[in-house]
């Protein structure tokens, strides 16, 4: 045991620098808002899955 799946510390900066800017992220959020709203409105969860989730005792 003791093995970890965490990336080597020297790769974290590369991953961070390869990310998108806040402005690009926000533009994507704005562009997908309608899709997210439609997905939420049309979601249909099977009753047995709802009961299973409720049985976990979570919030």
Angle CA(33)–CA(35)–CA(37) in degrees, nearest 5? Answer: 70
The model's pLDDT over 28-48, given as tens digits with 9 standing for 90+, comes to 888 899 999 999 999 999 999
The better pLDDT of the pair 36, 3 is held by 36
pTM (2 d.p.): 0.40
Q: In this model, does residue 6 exceed pLDDT 80? A: no
């Amino acid at each position: 045991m003791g093995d970890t799946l965490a990336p080597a510390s020297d790769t974290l900066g590369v991953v961070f620098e390869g990310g998108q800017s806040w402005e690009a992220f926000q533009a994507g959020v704005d562009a997908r808002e309608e899709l997210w709203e439609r997905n939420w409105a049309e979601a249909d969860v099977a009753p047995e899955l709802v009961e299973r989730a409720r049985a976990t005792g979570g919030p």
